[in-house]
């Protein structure tokens, strides 16, 4: 598959599991239901998970990007208000500002330089964990390596300058 679609080749186990479950709808429903239950109980209170089924929490410093009213997976948009408030909900902070801030604290800024592929809406409200095991999730695309490295260096300098008075 092209780098544009962001697909990685499924491991043998994932492909097998996907096929196995697809052929057994009752089992699939049970596992899916169990997965969703566990996810809802854990991810909703902890992360205000929006149940998109296509989880990229680990790439956004464990802040759910789908809380954004525009459901941006590569934010922030150009409409952010001064002070970092949301274009759509002016009393709320832009979620991507929060993601960037926490990424800097955790040293996860390079993960933001990767394009997170478009949301697969056929996975909406399905179990993200099960989707991972079935190989249905697309990993963020790692673009040309040198660009990421250059960005890293440039951004570290910039981050340093931003904190200077």
Partner 1 sequence: MARTLKEAIESGRFIVTGELGPPMGASPDLVRKKAEHFRNVDAVNVTDNQSGVVRQSSIAAAKLLLDEGLDPIVQMTCRDRNRLALQSDVLGAAALGVGNLLLLTGDHMTMGNQPEARPVYDLDSVSLISMVDGMRAGRFMNGDEIKRPPEVMLGGAANPFAEPLGLRLIRIAKKAEAGADFIQTQAVFDVPRFRRWMEGVRDLGLHERVKVIAGVLPVRSAKALEYMRDEVSGMSIPDAAVRRIADAAEPAEEGVRLACELIASLREIDGVAGVHLMPVMWEKITPRIVEEAGL
The residue ranges that bind partner 1 (CB under 8 A) are 1-2, 4-5, 7, 69-82, 84, 87-88, 96-97, 100-101, 104, 109, 112-113, 115-119, 121, 143-144, 147, 150-151, 154-155, 157-159, 162
Element (H, E) at 14: helix 12-22
Least Å from the CB of residue 135 to partner 1: 16
CA angle 84, 86, 90 (to 5 degrees): 100
Q: Closest CB to partner 1 among 67 and 104?
A: 104
Number of Cβ atoms within 10 Å of the Cβ of 49: 18
- ω before 76 within 30° of 0 (cis)? yes
Please check whether residue 54 is in contact with residue 131, taking contact to mean a CB–CB distance below 8 angstroms: yes
> Helix, strand or coil for residue 3?
coil
Nearest distance from C-beta of residue 31 to partner 1, angstroms = 26
Looking at the Cβ atoms of 24 and 143, the one nearer to partner 1 is 143
Shortest reach from residue 48's CB to partner 1, in Å: 18
Instruction: Name which of 31 and 86 has its Cβ closer to partner 1.
Output: 86
Q: How many residues does the chain have?
A: 165
């Amino acid at each position: 598959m092209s780098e544009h679609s962001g697909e990685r080749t499924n491991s043998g186990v994932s492909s097998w599991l996907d096929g196995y479950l697809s052929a057994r709808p009752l089992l699939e429903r049970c596992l899916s239901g169990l997965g969703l239950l566990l996810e809802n109980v854990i991810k909703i209170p902890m992360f205000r998970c929006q149940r998109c089924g296509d989880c990229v929490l680990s790439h956004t410093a464990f802040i759910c990007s789908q809380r954004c009213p525009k459901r941006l997976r590569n934010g922030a948009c150009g409409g952010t208000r001064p002070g970092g408030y949301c274009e759509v909900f002016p009393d709320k902070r832009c979620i991507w500002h929060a993601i960037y801030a926490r990424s800097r604290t955790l040293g996860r800024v390079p993960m933001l330089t990767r394009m997170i592929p478009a949301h697969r809406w056929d996975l909406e409200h399905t179990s993200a964990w099960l989707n991972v095991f079935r190989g249905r999730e697309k990993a963020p695309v790692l673009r040309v390596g040198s660009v990421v490295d250059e960005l890293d260096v440039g951004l570290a300098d910039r981050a340093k300058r931003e904190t200077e008075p």
